[in-house]
Amino acid sequence: MCRAFDKVHRAVAVNNSRSGGDNPTAVIAVATSGRQALNVGGEYLLTKLAEQPATPPDLANEIRRMASIYQELTVDYLAEASSSETEPLLRSGDETTATIEGLCK
């Protein structure tokens, strides 16, 4: 599960660090790519977790939490939620990432 998490975390980080610059079409493409990384990443984590039933319970719970955060962020971004609305989820995602990274050492 740790490799699956690292793979998804990298995909989300890469896609959310891009910028469309001043081109409105590029901005939309970049936003769509970031949302897709969150959505697919959450689904991928849940699929891998189902395929690996021997995952330690504490790690499995954190992976589920991260998948849920990714899905909720996807919906929030699609709904054009404000930064103040997404900030608590982003903080929770950072905390969950740190916990998973600690469990994967």
pLDDT of residue 34: 86
pTM exceeds 0.85, yes or no: yes
DSSP class per residue in 44-103 = HHHHHHHH-TTS-HHHHHHHHHHHHHHHHHHHHHHTT--HHHHHHHHHHHHHHHHHHHHH
C-beta atoms surrounding 96 within 10 Å: 20
* pLDDT, tens only, 56-101: 999 999 999 999 999 999 999 999 999 999 999 999 999 999 999 9
pLDDT of residue 15: 81
Please state, in angstroms and rounded to a whole number, the distance separating the CA atoms of residues 100 and 80: 28
* pLDDT, tens only, 3-48: 999 999 999 998 877 878 888 888 888 888 889 999 999 999 999 9
